[in-house]
Every structure is written in structure tokens, then in C-alpha cells.
Chains A and B, each alone.
Chain A
């Protein structure tokens, strides 16, 4: 069974630009969550999608948005990039997103904003 795939692995952008990250969950998984990981803040929850609907949202500004397609693949978009957006962005999928469901993580997209 293929794992969670995130593309691209590395990305360098300039302040003010926008970026789109992609996540393909494990086949059959309907829940996709996004996290931002930085050395200072650790893993911060961005949002979770289930069956194309945003089900949970973290405390990030509106510049961070996402969507999920009918095949459960998900994209995350960050507009008007800031230097502080430099981070490892992790996507995780789970079967239903119900309590105690394990999260299966991809290896992340490393975003650097210059």
C-alpha cells in the first residue's frame, strides 16, 4: 500500500509570492490534515478535510487555505508569503479521522521563503 505522498519535497519562494502544496493520501483514506512544523513552534495544526469539506481549522491567518478533491487528494495554498512561513509542511491522512485513528504522515514539503 503506497504511503502518503507530498509534492514537491523542497520549494524556495520569494516574499509576497504564493505557493501550492499537494498531498495524496493513502488509498481509501478520507481524512487529510495539514501541519506546519518549525523548530520554535513544533507541529502546529492548520486544518483537516474530510470528504471535500473542511472539518477542523487551526489558528492560522486566512492566507493559509486548502481544499480536498473527490479522490481525497488535498492541496494547501499560502498566499502573500512571509519569511516566517518558512517551515516543513506535513500532510497526514487517516481512514475516517475519527477518534483514535492513527495519522499517517508524508515526508513533508520543505518551504523556504527568501
Chain B
């Protein structure tokens, strides 16, 4: 059973379209991070959200942390081929002294020129 669920699992869109990727859990997280992974490379951190309801923007990417700190979304405006990759959300569990970071299964995004 996945502690973190992501949807959709796969997404193929045309350049210029908008999209939203979701990350959901029944657990509360102290923070949630979004990473992007390109083929043959390790994941690279995009953003960390900490406060419930927090919204962060990174150029065309908008990240939101749910009020209850159980879910998050990533919205991309006017997607470009360079946005292609595997998007991973990762939650730091609250109950341990030193958080164990748990990853979701990822959303594989393909932006077609």
C-alpha cells in the first residue's frame, strides 16, 4: 500500500497546454517536497512546502500544500517540452524525530512539441 498516491500516473499533452498533478495521502506530513527526475538522472528538488495552505510559485509551476498537510498539487501553465520528466512528491512523516522521507510513485509527464 502506497503511503502517498499520485495522479495521474501518466500524462501526455501538447506544448502550451496547462496541467495539474495531484499528490494525496491519509497521513499528515511535516513538509512536502516536489522533485523532477529526467531519464538517467536522479531526482532534483523543485520546491518544499511546509505550512498548510501554502502556495509557492516557480516560474510557470505553482505548488500548493493542502490545509490539513495531507495533500498537494502541482500546476504547470503553458507546458513546454523541457517540462517532460517524472514528477515525484515526497512527504516527511511527522511522528519520527528525524523524518523519513517517503516518495509517491510519480507522474510521468510527456510534453509534445
Residue numbers of A with Cβ under 8 A of B are: 4, 33, 35, 41-45, 48, 50, 55-56, 58, 90, 92, 97-100, 102-108
A43 with B42: CB separation less than 8 A: no
Number of A-B contacts (CB under 8 A): 63
Q: Identify which of A42, A56, A97 gathers the most chain B CB atoms within 10 Å of its CB.
A: A42
**Which residues of chain B have C-beta atoms less than 8 A from A58's C-beta?**
100
A100 with B40: CB separation less than 8 A: no
A102 with B41: CB separation less than 8 A: no
A99 with B31: CB separation less than 8 A: yes
Q: Is B105 positioned at the interface, with any CB of A under 8 Å from its CB?
A: yes
Count residues of chain B with CB under 8 A from any CB of chain A. 26
A103 with B92: CB separation less than 8 A: no
Q: How far is the CB of B8 from chain A (nearest CB, A)?
A: 14
A56 with B96: CB separation less than 8 A: yes
Give the 7 A-B CB pairs with smallest separation, nearest first.
A105-B42, A43-B103, A42-B105, A102-B45, A56-B100, A100-B31, A105-B43
B48 with A48: CB separation less than 8 A: no
B41 with A107: CB separation less than 8 A: yes
> When chains A and B are docked, how far (Å) is the Cα of A50 from the Cα of B97?
13
B48 with A107: CB separation less than 8 A: no
A45 with B92: CB separation less than 8 A: no
Residue numbers of B with Cβ under 8 A of A are: 2, 30-31, 33, 35, 40-45, 48, 50, 88, 90, 92, 96, 98-106
17 sample A-B contacts, Cβ–Cβ < 8 Å, listed by A number: A33-B101, A42-B88, A43-B43, A45-B100, A45-B103, A56-B96, A56-B98, A90-B43, A92-B42, A99-B31, A99-B99, A102-B33, A102-B45, A103-B90, A103-B101, A106-B42, A107-B40
**Which residues of chain B have C-beta atoms less than 8 A from A90's C-beta?**
42-43
B41 with A99: CB separation less than 8 A: no
**Which residues of chain A have C-beta atoms less than 8 A from B92's C-beta?**
99-100
> When chains A and B are docked, how far (Å) is the Cα of A81 from the Cα of B71?
37
Q: How far is the CB of A62 from chain B (nearest CB, A)?
A: 18
**Which residues of chain A have C-beta atoms less than 8 A from B90's C-beta?**
43, 103
> When chains A and B are docked, how far (Å) is the Cα of A106 from the Cα of B43?
8
> When chains A and B are docked, how far (Å) is the Cα of A50 from the Cα of B99?
12
